[in-house]
Amino acid sequence: MAGPAMGAPGRPGAGAAMGQSRPSMRKAVEVFQYRHYRFLWASSTFSFTGMQMQQVARALLAWELTESFAASGAIALSFGLPMLLFALVGGSLADRMEKRNLTLMTQASTGLLALLTAVMVATDTITFEILFIIGLVQGTFFAFGMPARMPLMAEVVGPSNVMSAIAMSNAAMNFTRLFGPAIAGVLVAVSGIAMAYFVMAGLYVFSTALLLMVPTGLSAVARAQREAAGGGAAGPMGRSRPQGSMLKEIGGGLHYVWTTPRLRLLIGMMFIITLFAMPYVILLAGYVQEDLGRSKADFGWLQSISGIGALVASLAVATLTDFNRKPLVQWTTGVASGVGMLLLAWPLGLGYAGVIVAVIVLGAATTGYQTLNNTMVMGESDPEYYGRVMSINMLTFSVMPLMSAPLGVLADVITAEATFALMGGVIIVIMLFLGLTNSSYTFGTEEPRRFEPRPASPGPAVAQPSTGQASAGQPEAAPAGAGGGGD
């Protein structure tokens, strides 16, 4: 994983490109000047709320149908398996197709599946087998759509605001973690599972309608700008868009990541956090009830408290757009994830209160790490590879269920506390090793992204910030680093 030294080759204009080096919330909220980003952000928020509700409703429905832990786990696997199988295909499609259209199609299809499930539950025709198939189909749509969503944000706001755009989207996602599951639980208790799915379908309708407000053609415009900046039709990397077979393009994406040292490092580090920190939730339910003697409600409170830490971390990361020590912040959150695992194992003699502290640390650290990783991966990638790179990054979350089973077996053998301690120790040791072997990158100042378009003849613009007056044809001037142009 250490690879070559992480010191990047010299890049012109580093000082000017970095701008201010201190965290700034004002810079973070600049993305909301972009009318199309506001639509995309709101669309994502409705979609995230539906996803959070679905996790609860699907688990309750699976249990109602089978009353089997194994069957409930199989339903969860039905959603995750297609992500492992088709994420790379989704990345290739994102680089071939108009990203807005791909996101729109997958979002609308997800809403139709929620509506179908609602109708089948209401008419008492749903079965375990049908629910499993719906999970497979929905997971496939997710694998196709997610690699396009973050690159679409980059096209909407321009390269200088990518970190803020992704961080604000993650903040919305973590905010929905606080109330989405609760809404689903109340709906199921008061009106039944079918009503919860009908509400989910409605949320996906709103999400799809808001996506329709984002214009098509942004991917083509962004590509045209890159071609103009690169001084020819081939673009800065010698190609204007993916060509040849899809398998060849997937292979090209894998080769690109492997031969780009920083991408290889960032994605590899994300695998470490995903494998050894995020599965703690799988063990937490039994740990809280069996080892600490607390109730299921207490476990639910821990989940919400973890979401608060995650929300705070997302907002904090959003202020780091122009901060030039992001690698150090990311490395620190990685170490903090390991410390959080150790606090779970030894909660300072405070019992449940100590576990509360641990999950706050873990929620903030893992979310901060993930958000920084996503934005830094985008910053290190050639825009022509955005979809494929993000799909490879998504694979880290696909393999998490594969780690959960052996960790569960290990906890049965050596206790949950010992397993938490082992996981935390592994994270800290690996983070220390990677930090020391890549010290010039981790502890130095970050250089600007390599793929900023060079000055070129004027072309069509990708992003345009505006206030609510934009619909009346009165857009504000674009911030520095973003293209101007009409909606």
Give the model confidence (pLDDT) of 18-73 as tens digits: 444 566 667 667 788 888 999 999 999 999 999 888 887 888 888 888 877 667 66
pLDDT tier for residue 13 given thresholds of 50, 70 and 90 = very low
Question: DSSP readout, 322-354?
Answer: T-TTHHHHHHHHHHHHHHHHHHHHS-TT-THHH
Band of pLDDT at residue 161, cut at 50, 70 and 90: confident
CA 315 to chain centre: 14
Tens-place pLDDT, residues 232-287: 333 334 344 555 677 888 888 889 999 988 888 888 888 888 888 887 877 777 78
Give yes or no for a contact between 457 and 228, defined as CB atoms under 8 angstroms apart: yes
Lowest-pLDDT choice from 119-128, 153-162, 164-173, 439-448: 439-448
Cα–Cα distance between 363 and 96 in angstroms, integer?
35
Hey, what domains does the chain have and what are their CATH numbers?
24-218 (1.20.1250.20), 257-445 (1.20.1250.20)
Q: Tell me what percent of the residues of the chain surpass a pLDDT of 90.
A: 22
The reported pTM is 0.69
Cα(164)–Cα(7) distance, rounded to whole angstroms?
A: 25
Please check the confidence at residue 411 and state whether its pLDDT lies above 80: yes
